Structure 1
Amino acid sequence: MRGARSAKWVASAIVVALAATACGGSDDDDSTSDGASDGNSGGGIVRVDGGEPQNPLIPSDTSEAYGGLVMDNIFSKLLEFDDSGEIELLAAESIEPNEDATVWTVTLNSGWTFHDGTDVTAQHYVNAWNWAANVDNNQSSSFWFADIAGYEDVHPEEGSPTAEEMSGLSVVDDLTFEIALSHPVSYYNYKLGYTPFTPLPDSFYDDPEGFGEAPVGNGPYRLDEWNHNTSIKLSTYEDYAGRNAAKNDGVEIIAYTGLDAAYQDLLSDNLDVIRQVDPKDLPVYETDLGDRAISQAYNGIQSIVPVKYGDWENVDPQVIQGISKAIDRETITQTVLNGSRTPADSFAPPGVLGYQEGADGGIAEYDPEAARDLVEAGGGVPNNEMVLQINGDGGHQEWAEAVCNSIIDALDIECTLDIKPDFDTDLEARAANEVQSFYRGGWLADYPLNANFMSELYHSRSSTNYGRFDNPEVDALFEQGDQAASLEETVTAYQEAEQVLWEEMPAIPLWFQNVNGGYSNNVENVAFDTAGMPILTEVTVK
């Protein structure tokens, strides 16, 4: 779930479609030379729309947008990204590689504390990462630590003994630790801008289950109350040491069952920030909200993903290519979505390093005749029908119906929707391998590289690879990209891997995402980051 998370475009703004990954942070120019904040200004509580997190609130077990919205405000990362994708250090004073990028040395800023008042040290990072990587702890983001030397010892093959620690992590002193990798990774510092790489306090290990209900972080907000399926209340952490201290008194994240109800609350000023309006409100929200409406692109993509089990286990990629060409993206984005999306021609959005215009080679272009030819050449759609699973609380039904209708018209097959009541239920069905044929797959940037939109979704070991795509050639290409000698070579290697993805079709990219949201008359200085998540610390209450 998750980073490219802190760069902000300050505008009268807010955030995103309900995708699958973790979320935003922020950046503040009012800081002292040692990174400590000058303090808070403004006041009052900011109410933002959200939903029920899928998992307990532990950094290494949160990889979807609802949980990410919470985690990115109660935990601070080692680094963030500005709006051009450049790294900005936050909790770290420096992150330096050795000559071949196999050892990375992290030096922390001093003065940081957890919400329980205890000091944050290098040992807290090392302990947290060792715990998260350990197979016995069953963390959904454990694969993020796979580059570290000794990962195979804490995450061994089934039946082998499990070690307590990865050999690649070592504490130098209270504010310094080293990360030795099992192979070079030229962009490892980018990965460190994602949620699983945050620290945990000593109290976590006394009761991890209890911690997941009441986490203690190191971020600008502390968690006060989690009323499941209703709201999550955060208050400002007064002793926060980062440059992005909150400019309000706290945040209430309200769980809605649909975007329409959230929008009505916004219009009546009972909600302060809405991250995405319902498709049916797209034609009117800019008129309704005036200069409080926001429409801006961010680093996110919407796809539909075939599953590699059941009737679809051995479907020829040509069939998936044919379905892709049966979808009239241009018409759907202009009509149903009111021009608020851009048809996708790549697996990675334009705002990340390595985006390739026209990478699809025509596979994403609407052509019913070519679509039928490809489906026929690939052996046909199983049982001449497909089912698209979506979550009913995210404003997806209108466009999903349009996608199905386009496929029906072009291919003369049956296409129906399986609408889960909420995102949590949708994710549970994906994790349990209960998707019938396709699911809606959205992704927000965890870091602004093309690799994040490929390896984290389609590598066989990735926990967010819910389609269970497993291709040794693709895995090898991703790993070659990770081990390239420079960032530029890594990006190029992933561009080459993308060409294979268009041949193998682990997903059908639909369109690149836009923020289409707004804010109430109660607040000012609303901003959002390049991953489309709200920068809540910036918001001031009138």
Structure 2
Amino acid sequence: MSTAHMNTARSTVLAASVALTLTLVATACGPAQSTKPDNASHKPGGAYSVALTEPDHLLPGRTTSSYSLQVLQGLFDPPTSLDPEHGTVKPLAALSWVTDDNVVWTVTFRSGTTFHNGEKVTAGSFADAWNAAAYGPNGWDSNYYFAQIKGYDALNPTEEGAKPTARTLSGLKVVDEKTLQVTLKAPFGQFPMLLSFPAFAPLPKAAVAKPDTFDTAPVGNGPYQLDGPWERNQRIKLKKFAAYRGPREAMADRVDFKIYTSRETAFTELQAGNVDILTTVPAANSAQAKRLFGDRFSIRPSGTMDYLGLPVKDPRFADPRVRKAISMAIDRQGITQAIYNGVYKPATSIVGEMIPGHRPGACGRTCAYDPAAAKKLLDEAGGFEGTLELYFSNADATYEQWMTSVANQLKDNLGIKDVKFRKMAPADLSSLLNEGRNKGPFRQNWVIDYPSIQNYLDGLYYPGNRSGWSNREFDALVAKGNAAEGTEAVAAYQQAEDIVLRDLPYIPLWNWQDQSAWSDRIGNVVIDSYAAGLHLDSVTVND
């Protein structure tokens, strides 16, 4: 947990003193980092390029896409950040966060900072941004990240046809220009970790007034600012923000995001020297990347997971036995070996292996390959009729490869005759799934925001989630974990995990291993396992 002293009379969480109750082992989740001995001689300045898949949005509250978050990492400073090696909470836009009870938090921000347009950053800038994201009718993707704050329910009524009874969160109080008091609905010790997510970054007045315009030309408070228009499906250029007064001054003058339609193409471009950093080297190219890039290639455990999501409100998938049959009919070991070169690891839990509280084998027989048992279970549930549509994006060639393997295994092992693919651009798929317009299973990916089981539980199974699943017992156990600390919190989260594994709205498939490579033009490459990804400000340029 992010607060280590919940039972003391007063809990004060300051920059360097915050530690997770369960400390991560550095070798398990440490960042990729260049260690070339000449790094110390690198001087500020220069430009470098990063391979990227086309983002869906660049307004922080509108997106949870890892492609977007990588750009936002340079453009915005949220209140806190996570240490890339240990996962501990550090100050960013905020200097301190103080609480007596893990319900009422007083957040104090830095003075003298501005947005890229010169507008002063104040506590009100944060409150305005959070209110806009939390207001249900706005339809921003990060909406549920604000569900912990008092007043969220008034902005997001669940009754059919009901309208919000408020426009702002009652739990936010601007005390003065640098102080924001935040009242939560219930105790939540991990609140400082949550504040590291880009959706909690401040917004200038123009963003709230004209979000569509701002979405394509964002104005942030981070070390980099936009350098020219977002060239759709081509590039996004950033330049150093000269007036930046935060704690992470940029080393390079410019960053050029080059947008590619596939990781394979991006890897070829890296080999040719046309791009400097690829944070997602295809697993099939692992041996080649190690040979070509040597100490400029990194492979490390990741909190990223792939799942097969199931629309549980569709009568064909309503019976948990059907969902479990599909899971048991999938050969995870065979797929990860054939398509991911054995780099990815078959999932036996909904939680990444490097997360405190991960339990190997939590999924039990349900995640074990057993075609005979799968067919028997499906028959007991009444079988499957109609076309099975599988939804995935075109962002990576391996998505279609593993979906093809899954389709063939479901045909062979379960006797499902008619399987069709629905492949589309990531942004289009995201919109379709968020609106519940899919008619079958879909690829669901989760990139961890901070190192906690809770992040998976809330991130995947939030109210109105893409699968349509809900469970009151699950909600109560998550709330119990949020209000607890240490082993008691982990135990509650694990019980909540048991419930989702019992009902299986998302079938765990495999745990990623992050692979990155970079050119010899750059150094001091730091890539963490959380939402920040590549630390753009740290990278130095040799020439």
Q: TM-score, with normalisation over the residues of structure 2?
A: 0.87
What residue in structure 2 maps to residue 187 of structure 1?
190
Give per-residue Cα distances to partners, 1:384-420, cap 9 Å, x unaligned.
x533211122232222222333333332334745252
* 1:534 has 2:538 as partner: no
Q: Residue 355 of structure 2 aligns to a residue in which SS?
A: coil
For residue 267 of structure 1, the aligned residue among 235, 248, 271 is 271
* Residues 9/474 of structure 1: CA separation in 2 closer, same or farther (3 Å cut): same
Q: Is this contact kept in 2: 1:303–1:508, CA < 8 A?
A: yes
Aligned to 1:386: 388
Q: 1:333 to 1:415 in 2, by over 3 A?
A: farther
User: CA contact under 8 A between 1:12 and 1:526: conserved in structure 2?
Assistant: yes
2:375 — aligned with what? 372
Cα 1:247/1:300, change in 2 over 3 Å: same
Q: Deviations over 1:169-198 (max 9, x none)?
A: 112222211111222223222211212211
Partner of 2:499: 500
Native 8 Å contact 2:391 2:421 kept in 1: yes
Residue identity opposite 1:534 in structure 2: L
CA contact (8 A) 2:43 2:541 kept: no
Q: In the alignment, what sits opposite 1:164? A: 167
Instruction: Assess if the C-alpha contact under 8 Å between 2:389 and 2:422 holds in 1.
Output: no
Q: 1:64 to 1:337 in 2, by over 3 A?
A: same
- Matching residue of 1:92: 94
Where does structure 2 lack aligned partners over 5 or more consecutive residues?
Answer: 1-19, 21-28
In the alignment, is residue 287 of structure 1 matched against residue 291 of structure 2? yes
1:239 lines up with 2:243 in the alignment: yes
Verify the 8 A CA contact 2:454 2:493 in the aligned structure 1.
Answer: yes
Rounded Cα–Cα distance in structure 2 between residues aligned with 1:379 and 1:398 = 29
Distance, in Å, in 2 between the alignment partners of 1:355 and 1:149 is: 30
Q: More deviation in 132-141 or 155-164?
A: 155-164
In structure 2, what is the equivalent of residue 9 of structure 1? 31
Deviations 1:292-317 (A, max 9, x none): 32222211101111113445352x11
Distance change in 2, residues 1:295/1:414 (3 Å): farther
Whole-angstrom CA distance in 1 between matches of 2:317 and 2:412: 25
Contact 1:114/1:216 (8 A) holds in 2:
yes
- Could you tell me how far apart the structure 1 residues matched to 2:165 and 2:172 are? 16
- Distance between the aligned counterparts of 2:378 and 2:34, measured in 1? 46
Deviation at 1:237, TM superposition (A): 1.3
CA distance in 1 between counterparts of 2:48 and 2:499 reads 45
Return the alpha-carbon distance in structure 2 between the equivalents of residues 69 and 117 of structure 1: 23
Contact 1:459/1:474 (CA < 8 Å) preserved in 2?
no
Distance 2:70 2:190 in 1: 25
Change in Cα spacing, 1:479 to 1:381, as seen in structure 2 (3 Å) is farther
2:484 aligns with 485
The alignment's TM-score, normalised by the length of structure 1, stands at 0.87
1:218 aligns with 2:221: yes
Q: Distance in 1 between matches of 2:195 and 2:313?
A: 33
- The aligned residue for residue 34 of structure 1 is none
Per the alignment, residue 302 of structure 1 pairs with 306
Confirm or deny: 8 A CA contact 1:283 1:338 kept in the other structure.
no
Q: Which amino acid aligns with 1:372?
A: K
* Larger RCO (CA within 8 A; separation ≥ 6): 1
Distance of 1:414 and 1:220 partners within structure 2: 54
More helix by share: 2
Is 1:399 aligned to residue 402 of structure 2? yes
C-alpha displacement of 1:279? 4.9
CA distance in 2: counterparts of 1:75 and 1:312, whole angstroms: 44
More moved, 486-495 vs 153-162: 153-162
Name the residue aligned to 2:446. 443
In structure 1, what is the Cα distance between the partners aligned to 2:480 and 2:81?
26
Tell me what 1:74 maps to: 75
Letter of the aligned partner of 1:389 in structure 2? Y
State how far apart, in whole Å, the 2-side matches of 1:214 and 1:145 are. Answer: 24
CA distance in 1, matches of 2:389, 2:203: 41
| Cα 1:112/1:354, change in 2 over 3 Å | farther
Could you tell me whether the CA contact under 8 Å between 1:311 and 1:382 is conserved in 2? Answer: no
**What is the aligned partner in structure 2 of residue 117 from structure 1?**
118
Report the secondary structure of 1:94's partner residue.
Answer: strand
Matched-pair contact (CA < 8 Å) for 1:312–1:437? no
**CA 1:296–1:486 in structure 2 vs 1: closer, same or farther (change >3 Å)?**
closer
Question: Which residue is 2:179 aligned to?
Answer: 176
The equivalent residue for 2:346 is 343
Contact 1:301 1:510 in 2 (8 A): yes
- Measure, in 2, the Cα distance between the counterparts of 1:160 and 1:507: 30
Q: Secondary structure at the match of 1:48?
A: strand
Which is further off, 243-252 or 40-49?
A: 40-49
Deviation of residue 103 (structure 1)? 0.5
SS in structure 1 at match of 2:406: helix
Letter of the aligned partner of 2:33 in structure 1?
A: A
Of 231-240 and 274-283, the range deviating more from structure 2: 274-283
How has the CA–CA distance of structure 1 residues 202 and 41 changed in structure 2, closer, same or farther, with 3 Å as cutoff? farther
Give 3-state SS (helix, strand or coil) of 1:474's partner: helix
Q: Which residue of 1 aligns with 2:132?
A: 131
Q: Which residue of 2 aligns with 1:24?
A: none
Matched residue, 2:51: 49
Which of these residues, 426, 429, 433, is aligned with residue 430 of structure 1?
433
Distance 1:244 1:8 in 2: 19
Shift of 1:161: 5.4
Whether the aligned pair in 1 keeps the contact of 2:283 and 2:343 (CA below 8 Å) is no
Closer/same/farther in 2, CA of residues 185 and 280 from structure 1, 3 Å limit: closer
Whether 1:145 aligns to 2:149 is no
Evaluate the alpha carbon distance shift between residue 161 and residue 270 of structure 1 in structure 2; reply closer, same or farther with a 3 A threshold.
closer
Contact 1:306/1:439 (8 A) holds in 2: yes
1:150–1:168 CA contact under 8 A, matched in 2: yes
Q: How many matched pairs? A: 504
* Partner of residue 256, structure 1: 260
Unpaired stretches in structure 1, ≥5 consecutive residues = 14-29, 31-39
The answer (yes or no) to whether the contact 1:186–1:487 under 8 Å persists in 2 is no
Determine the C-alpha separation between the residues in 2 that align with 1:518 and 1:59. 27
In 2, the alpha carbon distance for the partners of 1:398 and 1:169 equals: 47
1:85-139 deviation line (CA, Å, top 9, x unaligned): 221222211112223x210111112232211223221121122212222234232
- Larger displacement relative to structure 2 (495-504 or 203-212): 203-212
Contact 1:306-1:312 at 8 Å conserved across structures: no
Q: Deviations over 1:18-75 (max 9, x none)?
A: xxxxxxxxxxxx9xxxxxxxxx9432222111122223x2221111112111122211
SS in 2 for 1:402: helix
Distance in 1 between residues matched to 2:269 and 2:32, nearest whole Å: 23
CA shift in 2, pair 1:454/1:312, >3 Å:
farther
Distance 1:387 1:481, change over 3 A: same
